[in-house]
Amino acid sequence: MVIFRIKKSSRFEKSKSLIFIFMKNHFLVIFFIFSTFFLVSKKIYAQQDATQFFKSASMKLQAKKFKEALADFDAGLKIDKFNPNAYGGRGLAKASLGDLKGAIQDYNSLLELKPQDAKGYFYRGLAHLELKNQEQAYNDFSKATKIAPQDYRSFYQLALLKYQAKDLEGALMDLESVLRLKPKDAKATLNRGIIKETLKDIQGAKQDFDKVIALTPNDHVAYFYRALWYNTQKQYAPAFEDLKKAIELKPDYKEAFLQRGVMIFNIGGKGANPTPDFDQVLKLDPQNPAPHYYKGAMCVEQRQYKNALPHLNEALKLDKNYALAYMQRGVVYTNLKKYPEAKTDLDKAIELDKNNVNAYYNRGNLNMGTEKFPEALIDFNKAIELQGDYALAYISRGLLKQRMGDTEGAEKDWDKAATFNKK
């Protein structure tokens, strides 16, 4: 029997092998594509989740629901750690909740991702300002003005910092920048007026105060500062009118009541009685030492020295560094012939305020009265050095020189005093 053997074709085997390899590779390609699609889809969905958290957080931030906003920002940033605006939003939420250091960390993250973000520098500057980090705040606001010179807010903050540092010219320049960008900004105009008055631009200050009142006729602060301007110019009637208006607009405006009382005290005259205004200040602010001081000063003016003491003691109880109260009590002790106590108080007044001309003058009189002539001469000289037209200091120094045997020097001082109005 012949058995025919069928020879397998090597071509068939090769073909089968090729099909197998093709199927295997095809499977790998499909697997790779599917895996990539799965990862991309997962990332897309994750980004969508993060976006939803950030959107929700922003809405809650605007609604001032800061704790809820913070929770949403936290959740979103766990998914997407590279969203600069989310760090900025979370910084605002933290700052609003009082976590200023945490806010600064978030602003740092924002600025690492987005170095030219002016708002990031501005808000980080505000946080530093709250933490009394003046230098860092100044640097941040300065950087913000360079990146976004059209944003007036950073210029305004720089102006306040420079004013606090007594750089009045610099503060004025920054306020000018604010007003170029926002000409009707009442707050900037008011502050510019205050600085102009300090720099002796008297008419410029008045123009700014008038402009603020024209822009915001119900701004009690503007009326208050214009009243101060009128008082400085000795235009008392309009000063009283402006203080009256300020109090009408803000019935609990303790600063206006105090200023009106001080003006009544200083101007004097028949029927002048500042006590009701001082009492009103104490009703609004029982811890304010100023009304007690002025009540004591009123007693001194009337030579009621014993009655003055309780008021001055109360003022110093409330403020242990109240230089004027120490000086006034020193005058009281001098008149009550309690010379050691008087010397202690006048020394303290000068220690607290080395430019207190009246304290030197009063200590000079005390030293002259207790026959400490060299010390008295030093005090009168200092008073005249601080205020060259202080007529009373020249008169007292003349008396001292007469007692010291310097008649010629005494006459020169009295002649000089005659050229000034008595203070």
The verdict on residue 418 lying in a domain is yes
Tokens for 232, please give them.
């400085």
In a domain, 162, yes or no: no
Would 335 be classed as within a structural domain?
Answer: no
Cα–Cα distance, 141 to 156 (Å, whole number): 9
Cβ distance 202 to 226 under 8 Å? Answer: no
Burial (CB < 10 A; 0-12, 13-18, 19+), residue 23, is exposed
DSSP string of 197-236, one letter each residue:
HHTT-HHHHHHHHHHHHHH-TT-HHHHHHHHHHHHHTT-H
pTM of the model: 0.80
Q: Within a domain: residue 244? A: no
Is residue 250 situated within a structural domain? no
* Per-residue pLDDT, 268: 84
pLDDT at position 314: 98
Number of structural domains the chain divides into: 1
Are 38 and 30 within 8 A, CB to CB? no
On whether residue 404 sits in a domain, the answer given is yes
Per-residue confidence in pLDDT tens, the chain, 423 aa: 333 333 444 444 444 443 344 334 443 333 333 343 333 344 444 456 889 999 999 999 999 999 999 999 999 999 999 999 999 999 999 999 999 999 999 999 999 999 999 999 999 999 999 999 999 999 999 999 999 999 999 999 999 999 999 999 999 999 999 999 999 999 999 999 999 999 999 999 999 999 999 999 999 999 999 999 999 999 999 999 999 999 999 999 999 999 999 999 999 877 789 999 999 999 999 999 999 999 999 999 999 999 999 999 999 999 999 999 999 999 999 999 999 999 999 999 999 999 999 999 999 999 999 999 999 999 999 999 999 999 999 999 999 999 999 999 999 999 999 998 554
- Pair of tokens at residue 194: 């205050």
Q: How is 149-190 classified by DSSP, letter by letter?
A: TT-HHHHHHHHHHHHHTT-HHHHHHHHHHHHHH-TT-HHHHH
pLDDT at 45: 42
Question: What is the reported pLDDT for 131?
Answer: 97
Question: Distance of alpha carbon 219 from its chain centroid, rounded?
Answer: 19
Q: Is residue 323 part of a domain?
A: no
Amino acid sitting at position 344:
T
What is the DSSP-derived secondary structure letter of residue 308? H
Residue 272 is predicted with a pLDDT of 83
Q: CA-to-CA distance for 115 and 24, rounded, in angstroms?
A: 50
CATH number at residue 403: 1.25.40.10
Q: What is the structure's pLDDT at 75?
A: 94
Q: Is residue 340 part of a domain?
A: no
Domain that holds residue 361: 355-423
Token reading at 337: 């012939």
Cα separations in angstroms, 232 against 197, 201, 352 = 10, 13, 25
Report the amino acid identity of residue 208: D
* Contacts of residue 188, Cβ cutoff 8 Å, sequence gap at least 6: 152, 156, 159, 175, 178, 179, 182
